[in-house]
Structure 1
């Protein structure tokens, strides 16, 4: 084992420990890891900073911008209002409607954007129906997280995985190809929550419930009033929908690279005055973008030094004799466990080079191995701080740290079943 391999692995392990410790901001840990790899001579300056100009980061910034425009124009809140009005007065129907809306919005505006757009609507429903927010917020988070696997836009993990599929020569991966696994995952998640949520979700309210919702012009429901007739979409909303349709078309038919398509549509949102530049800049989750840009450096080091190949050899030596299916399961489980303690995007960036190296050693297709990592990273349901969606509902739901694992472990198990049953069928080794 060369010194550079030792430094790379030690840096990544230390970063993971700091992620779990959660006393240092994740973005600082990621940037610090990249700087360590430069200062120790593992990476050149260009390699260290390459992640910040990577197409993945450009794509994410653009997608966040589009999500801000959809929220600002009232599209997301209007869609939520419209569907909830048709849900009737049944608590079960309302719960299914909330989860269905979150799952549908996630592939269109990203799971983080969908959760942010739905939070005030769900808070209003809880207030008007005298329902504990804790009974609704985790279902919303789980639906948005599961719905992210319906399209490329759903999650940063999907974007990173699609880029790795392309660079590994196994792609391009279709814009809606994720839905082959995502649809059964979403349906199963909703069924699990409906059947078990009443018993496994806590009856708890936050100390201070914020019932301040967007005004009627945004299409959201007022907090203290019974539902009024649906608010019609304004001109900005129709423009936002048109740009969103353009984005989906460009990506679905692979007209231009994903980063270019998203950047074009983000610029159009500003030129058409759907959103202003200051509002767009304020709405982008820059911490996530910087985190991913910085974490690309350790991924580069894993490949450059041969650390990924070394770990891949260990995986092959340990369970490779059982066949690629067993390796696929191992990659899924390891990534899934990591994603409960560190950012799901960070765990994917660490594990993806190992997946590719393992596929090379086994002389099998890299695509299913990459998907094993991506889907494992998407099963971050057990811990509240594994992704921004579960974190965003933590306060509004009045939750405690241990409130997620009871229902989350069952949803994670379902995600595992779906992945191991369907990925080898649709994308053979």
Structure 2
């Protein structure tokens, strides 16, 4: 078999393994570059090059920025504002979160918007008693639609604008109907087409934590006195064989370190006054967040202060985190530095400015997503290098070239959307755009509608989790499986096809 055929075989085997879902997705992603190397399609350096690709570094950096926003209470504040406006309405929940995703994408790009909004969407889902799986995929798909609102939405737009001379907001003529249609489809069909599934791990919701503690310990403290930007509380248990057993404590006393105050003591669920500590006693301690972080080593902590602190809206470090985010947005929108550089600078700034510790930054990265993106990039490279993708493009244009301009747009949509489910949008666009321009010239058709149709088609990456990094970012926190994507993705694919083939020529004439 030639290299092109081997690439198609590896592609088919990869899709099959994803669908069967017997191996972890990260293992499948690692098998792809190894298979392409073992069969001689790619050298070892090319097969593993995806793990050092700027896109992979950018995605990892975005996870760190997202973690910093969550740790500083920015996520909690955004979630609080949205919850106040959503109430119990599913319609408002969908419209506001998807609208926010689309708008943020126009400024950042798809990956940046989704990375920033995943923790917000999880918080919203928990607080409004919805499954995260009902909200996270719509957020990712709204980001795809929002990428057509402005030139900065995706690198594909930049390539298309260079060829067709489109203005910064001219993309919105196609993007606005895409965003509106995407939101409408999710509202009408999302509840039935999306799984209602609880992911394996989900961050606990501490939005009502202060109220719970006031009731549990019958305190006369206002809730905002327990948890605020400067100080918090920790519920701790005296562990077995603790050296603290036998020490006398009473509510209101200051601990020997001088940093913490004992607010309450309970034994078997009942409040007690001055007493000698016993194993299993529960104490409620109050102090600064720094004191709580360093003063609980000898105790069993019920809820880690690091996690509880994230429920405080706009907590300590929020100003620094927002400043770094704003600087990153400016760098991304202006193009002063490559996206990966902007992301890495922002991630490093979050650590240097002590919004995050190095350990927190490392924990914030979804390494499964990073491995998936890096591994699957080898397949994209093989499709291009072996000519497999190019042969598909040439074949399709040969089929539709004599059927008129609308047939050309339909053919380009099918080709671009099909490739876009398996290889990156950028790689797809780089393959299809030259073919599209050649076909348009041969048919004496204007380049603008053809280029815009390709841009719309490249954004229609809905059917698989490996279609885009944004799709992968929501897979783990949403508890999705490979087969969950196409159910909602298929009607959205039809919407994007209608816009690419029928709406685009009404705006940009043949």
Fold shared by both chains (TM-score > 0.5): yes
- 1:331–1:372 Cα contact (<8 Å) kept: no
**Separation in 2, partners of 1:234, 1:103:** 27
1:359 and 2:436 aligned: yes
Residue 299 of structure 1 is matched in structure 2 by 380
In structure 1, the residue corresponding to 2:179 is in which secondary structure? helix
1:374 and 2:458 aligned: yes
Residue 474 of structure 2 is matched in structure 1 by 389
Choose the corresponding residue for 2:347, options 266, 279, 282: 266
- 1:302–1:308 Cα contact (<8 Å) kept: yes
**Separation in 2, partners of 1:411, 1:105:** 20
CA 1:72/1:8 → structure 2, altered by over 3 Å: closer, same or farther?
Answer: same
Return the TM-score normalized by structure 2: 0.63
- 1:68–1:283 Cα contact (<8 Å) kept: yes
1:40 and 2:39 aligned: yes
Deviation track 1:153-202 (CA, whole Å, cap 9, x = no partner) reads: x9xx956x579x49x9759999988765444333333334445668x579
**Separation in 2, partners of 1:322, 1:370:** 18
CA 1:62/1:172 → structure 2, altered by over 3 Å: closer, same or farther?
Answer: farther
CA 1:22/1:151 → structure 2, altered by over 3 Å: closer, same or farther?
Answer: same
In structure 1, the residue corresponding to 2:494 is in which secondary structure? helix
Residue 57 of structure 1 is matched in structure 2 by 56
Deviation track 1:52-82 (CA, whole Å, cap 9, x = no partner) reads: 2222222222222212222222212211211
Residue 142 of structure 2 is matched in structure 1 by 146
> What count of residue pairs does the alignment treat as equivalent?
401
After TM superposition, list the pairs within 5 Å mapping 1:313-328 onto structure 2.
313-323=394-404, 325-328=406-409
- 2:453–2:500 Cα contact (<8 Å) kept: no
Deviation track 1:252-277 (CA, whole Å, cap 9, x = no partner) reads: 11111111111111111111111222
- 1:143–1:189 Cα contact (<8 Å) kept: no
In structure 2, the residue corresponding to 1:322 is in which secondary structure? coil
Residue 277 of structure 1 is matched in structure 2 by 358
In structure 2, the residue corresponding to 1:110 is in which secondary structure? helix
Residue 118 of structure 1 is matched in structure 2 by 121
Residue 332 of structure 2 is matched in structure 1 by 251
**Separation in 1, partners of 2:376, 2:435:** 21
- 1:102–1:114 Cα contact (<8 Å) kept: yes
In structure 2, the residue corresponding to 1:376 is in which secondary structure? coil
Report the CA distance between 1:29 and its aligned residue. Answer: 2.6
**Separation in 1, partners of 2:37, 2:379:** 10
- 1:115–1:141 Cα contact (<8 Å) kept: no
Deviation track 1:272-292 (CA, whole Å, cap 9, x = no partner) reads: 111222222222122222222
Deviation track 1:110-133 (CA, whole Å, cap 9, x = no partner) reads: 32542333223322222xxxxxx3
**Separation in 2, partners of 1:378, 1:403:** 6
Report the aligned-residue RMSD. 4.7
**Separation in 1, partners of 2:485, 2:35:** 37
Residue 177 of structure 2 is matched in structure 1 by 184
Choose the corresponding residue for 1:213, options 205, 216, 239: 205
Deviation track 1:204-232 (CA, whole Å, cap 9, x = no partner) reads: 79699989303579xx999xx9xx99965
- 2:71–2:356 Cα contact (<8 Å) kept: yes
Q: Unaligned 5+ residue runs, structure 1?
A: 127-132
Q: Which moved more, 1:69-78 or 1:103-112?
A: 103-112
CA 1:363/1:297 → structure 2, altered by over 3 Å: closer, same or farther?
Answer: farther
After TM superposition, list the pairs within 5 Å mapping 1:156-171 onto structure 2.
158=154, 161=156, 165=159
Q: Unaligned 5+ residue runs, structure 2?
A: 216-222, 225-310, 442-446, 466-470
- 1:247–1:262 Cα contact (<8 Å) kept: yes
CA 1:373/1:11 → structure 2, altered by over 3 Å: closer, same or farther?
Answer: farther
**Separation in 2, partners of 1:47, 1:331:** 29
**Separation in 1, partners of 2:390, 2:371:** 27
1:23 and 2:22 aligned: yes
After TM superposition, list the pairs within 5 Å mapping 1:334-353 onto structure 2.
336=417, 344=421, 346=423, 348=425, 351-352=428-429
Report the CA distance between 1:146 and its aligned residue. Answer: 0.8
Larger CA Rg, structure 1 vs 2: 2
Residue 390 of structure 2 is matched in structure 1 by 309
- 2:380–2:423 Cα contact (<8 Å) kept: no
In structure 2, the residue corresponding to 1:275 is in which secondary structure? coil
**Separation in 1, partners of 2:4, 2:195:** 49
**Separation in 2, partners of 1:101, 1:329:** 31
**Separation in 2, partners of 1:72, 1:240:** 9
Report the CA distance between 1:319 and its aligned residue. Answer: 2.0
